[in-house]
Amino acid sequence: MGRGWHKYIGPYVTKFDNYLSLIIPGQVPSNKTLFETKKELIVWMHNTTTQFGEAESAVLKDKRFYNKVKYFIVPSEAHKKLTLLDIPVEPERIYVIPNAIKPLKYNPLKYKDVKQIKLINTSTASRGMDILYSSILELKEDFRLEIYNDYYPDTEPIEPEFDPRVRFYGKTPRVTVREAIEASHIHAYPSTYPETFCLSQAEAMSAGLLCVTSDLGALPEVSNGYTTIYPYTQDREEHVRVFTEKLKEAIETVKSGKWNPEAQIEYINNKFSWNAIRDKWLEFHELL
């Protein structure tokens, strides 16, 4: 997101030069830089405070920090609500600007006479992959599941035994991941983390995938009713059961030829493209 911001947004928001801008999580400046500068701070937060590292958490505990911050920027209304619960700041100092995506390609031919369903998961391993793995073991359908994240089963064995229908690719270049998403049918994401936006969901929607996710955090906000969303439960067995049933329904929908993602694609590409999000940044820029 930082690289995209500098390319698509930075040239249009020159007032940011008057502030010290931070992206959290990220590299936090020294206390000398942070608190002795005469510039006010603009803090762009992407995760909940529970996922912050030691340096970020220490800054949030320092009262001087809040006196320096002019605005916090978060990517969703759901994240704003969580932030207000975690840090002592007024609501008017938290500004919502969604994350942005570069639209993916959609090939409608991949849904014609589907022989083998291709599932994909491109999010962090700690956000529900154990639920995903337990669920797919219950499926008898012919499918292939590709997982792109920092999980390596040869060093972190999964129980029960490995399923040959699953392929782990580890950390992979973004261009390769995007191509894999474009070639897939279903985005399988039983999230157990209160998402602050979820780029993997937005990218999957852009490529026309049928998305199956829990309703934690910002997932309903980003999806806007275009995806298959079910109520999250902390009961692991129940979560596996519900997600398995939703995956079965999704597979049947794809195989039957009833899936039409055109409205979903139009919504996500228009709502969260860099051009659309640039307008949000320009609105914010006027407040500075």
For residue 163, what is the domain's CATH number? Answer: 3.40.50.2000
Position 142 scores a pLDDT of 87
Position 156 scores a pLDDT of 52
Helices (DSSP H) in 38-98: which residue ranges?
Answer: 54-60, 63-68, 77-86
Position 280 scores a pLDDT of 96
pTM: 0.91
Q: Are residues 70 and 153 in the same domain?
A: no
Q: Are residues 36 and 130 in the same domain?
A: no
Residue 165, number of CB atoms within 10 A of its CB: 16
Q: How many domains does the chain have?
A: 2
Confidence of residue 170 (pLDDT cuts 50, 70, 90): confident
Q: Are residues 163 and 192 in the same domain?
A: yes
Q: Are residues 138 and 6 in the same domain?
A: no
DSSP line for 212-268: EEE--TTHHHHHTTSSEEE---S-HHHHHHHHHHHHHHHHHHHHTT----HHHHHHH
Domain span holding position 6: 2-100+273-285
Q: Is the pLDDT of residue 160 over 50?
A: no
Q: Are residues 126 and 64 in the same domain?
A: no
Q: Are residues 233 and 149 in the same domain?
A: yes
Position 159 scores a pLDDT of 47
State which amino acid sits at residue 30. Answer: S
Confidence of residue 154 (pLDDT cuts 50, 70, 90): low
Beta 94-96 vs 143-147: how paired, if at all? unpaired
Q: Are residues 164 and 135 in the same domain?
A: yes
Q: Are residues 128 and 93 in the same domain?
A: no
Mean of pLDDT over the chain: 90
Q: Is the pLDDT of residue 288 over 50?
A: yes
Q: Are residues 123 and 257 in the same domain?
A: yes
Q: Are residues 260 and 278 in the same domain?
A: no
Confidence of residue 153 (pLDDT cuts 50, 70, 90): low
* Cβ atoms of residues 116 and 142 within 8 Å: yes
Structure tokens at 104: 């993916």
* Cβ atoms of residues 167 and 145 within 8 Å: yes
* pLDDT > 90 in the chain, percent: 65
3-state secondary structure of 140: coil
Averaged pLDDT for residues 221-237: 96
Q: Are residues 177 and 194 in the same domain?
A: yes
**Residues 96-139: tens digit of each pLDDT:** 999 999 999 999 999 998 889 999 999 888 889 889 989 988 99
